[in-house]
Amino acid sequence: MTPRPRIIAVDGPAASGKGTLARRLARHFGFGYLDTGLLYRAVGLRVLRAGKDLGDEAAAVAAAEAVTAAELADPELRSGPTGNAASAVAKIPGVRQALFDLQRRFAAHPTDDRGRPLLGAVIDGRDIGTVICPDAPVKLFVNASLETRAKRRHKELLERGEAIIYARVLEDIERRDEQDRSRSVAPMAKAPDAFEIDTTGLDADGAFAAALAFIGSRLD
């Protein structure tokens, strides 16, 4: 029998704190880390930069097929408009299909950022516990109230230098959540065996402690 991959799947809605938690878990366990949201953001950004419509399926699929790990460090990926573009292209089945193999490969052979092999991986997104790694021994679903998430994202965007008002961020997040939850392919969902962490009243240390307590011996 092949050993179960040591995968920690972290899913949750926009600005729930899943990225912060996932990065911290990866560091703690010495695992690789893949932020799959960046892949969808990279596709959205490619479509925007090509001057194409976000609903142009052929353009979005071509962008998804062209995405490489090298472009995931582009700071523009973190912008508000890129987040919205990511959610728009993420509902296109061909886009998800094109990014599937890349994610599965990372799960099967996790590496550090220099390409050296590692024993496990933390992968965060919307469909990791349900579609990408349904056999992951640890699944977390990170959530927080809409207002808490909007406040966090607003602060992040202001720190990036974006001039955006809170009401607009709240509206964008609400629309994106709805779009991510209701799409027909791989909608954002909590896997039945996922452990939910509500970070509304938790700081990063609190969320990390809750995750570690759940993980316990599940990775042994």
Binding of ligand CDP by 17 (CB under 6 A): no
Interacting residues with ligand CDP between 68 and 127 (CB under 6 A): 83, 86-87, 90, 125-127
Rounded to 5°, angle at Cα 131 from 92 and 170? 60
Is residue 43 within 8 A of residue 178, CB to CB? The reply is no
Residue with token string 């994106």? 176
Question: Is 10 one of the binding residues for ligand CDP (CB under 6 A)?
Answer: no
199: contact with ligand CDP by CB under 6 A: no
* Separation CA 220–CA 215 (nearest Å): 10
Q: Which is nearer to ligand CDP, 45 or 180 (CB)?
A: 180
Query: 6 or 154: whose CB is closer to ligand CDP?
Result: 154
Q: How far is the CB of 217 from ligand CDP (least distance, A)?
A: 27
Would you call 211 helix, strand, or coil by DSSP? helix
Q: Which of 41, 46, 139, 154 binds ligand CDP (CB under 6 A)?
A: 41
| Contact in structure between 104 and 159 (CB atoms under 8 Å) | no
Q: Which is nearer to ligand CDP, 1 or 70 (CB)?
A: 70
Using rule CB under 6 A, residue 45 touches ligand CDP: no
Q: Determine whether 135 is exposed, middle or buried from the number of CB atoms within 10 Å of its CB (0-12, 13-18, 19+).
A: exposed
For the stretch 175-183, contacts whose Cβ atoms lie closer than 8 Å and that sit 24 or more positions apart, written own/partner, are 175/84, 176/14, 176/83, 176/84, 176/87, 177/13, 177/14, 177/146, 179/87, 179/88, 179/91, 180/13, 180/14, 180/87, 180/90, 180/126, 183/90, 183/91
40 binds ligand CDP (CB under 6 A): yes
Site string for ligand CDP, 130-149 (x = CB under 6 A): --------------------
Interface with ligand CDP includes 21 (CB under 6 A)?
no
Q: Shortest distance, CB of residue 189 to ligand CDP, whole angstroms?
A: 11
> Which is nearer to ligand CDP, 36 or 199 (by Cβ)?
36
Helix (H) or strand (E) holding 142, with range, is strand 138-143
| 46 scored as a contact of ligand CDP (CB under 6 A) | no
Interaction of residue 180 with ligand CDP, rule CB under 6 A: yes
Alpha-carbon dihedral sign for residues 122, 123, 127, 131: negative
Residues that bind ligand CDP (CB under 6 A): 14-15, 36-37, 40-41, 83, 86-87, 90, 125-127, 176, 180
